[in-house]
Amino acid sequence: MRTDIHGHQIDVTPALRDYVDSKMERLARHFDRPCDLRIQLSIDKPHHKAEGTVSISGRTLHADATGVDMYAAIDLLADKLDRLLVKQKSKLVDHHRGENPARTASFG
């Protein structure tokens, strides 16, 4: 997973960058193919805002979160993106591929 972290009117410190990387690494477990992740951190006083966009195989998923501090916003964003990826993955899995007499030719 390639991660781009940008700050809008905020300096992204190495501590923030490491925290985002550690929180977003769990998103890579959902898909085998590489995906791109773009995180934008900003401050809308008094709230801190984190926005994330994930690009996977022709799909773009977007989520944003606000919190009282930047770390809380990043935590909420990671949870939202995780739920979006789980939902997207469940759409791709064919749930109707179970045992079927027509597929196994055992009907008769």
Average pLDDT, the chain: 85
Chain segment 70-88, per-residue pLDDT in tens: 999 999 999 999 999 888 8
Residue 21 lies in a domain: yes
CATH number of the domain where residue 74 is located = 3.30.160.100
Full domain range(s) for residue 77? 2-91
Chain segment 16-35, per-residue pLDDT in tens: 999 999 998 888 887 777 78
Residue 102 lies in a domain: no
Q: SS3 for the chain, per residue?
A: CEEEEEEECCCCCHHHHHHHHHHHHHHHHHCCCCCEEEEEEEEECCEEEEEEEEEECCEEEEEEEEECCHHHHHHHHHHHHHHHHHHHHHHHCCCCCCCCHHHHCCCC
Residue 68 lies in a domain: yes
Residue 105 lies in a domain: no
- The tally of domains found in the chain comes to 1
Chain segment 31-58, per-residue pLDDT in tens: 777 788 999 999 988 899 999 999 887 7
pTM here is 0.80
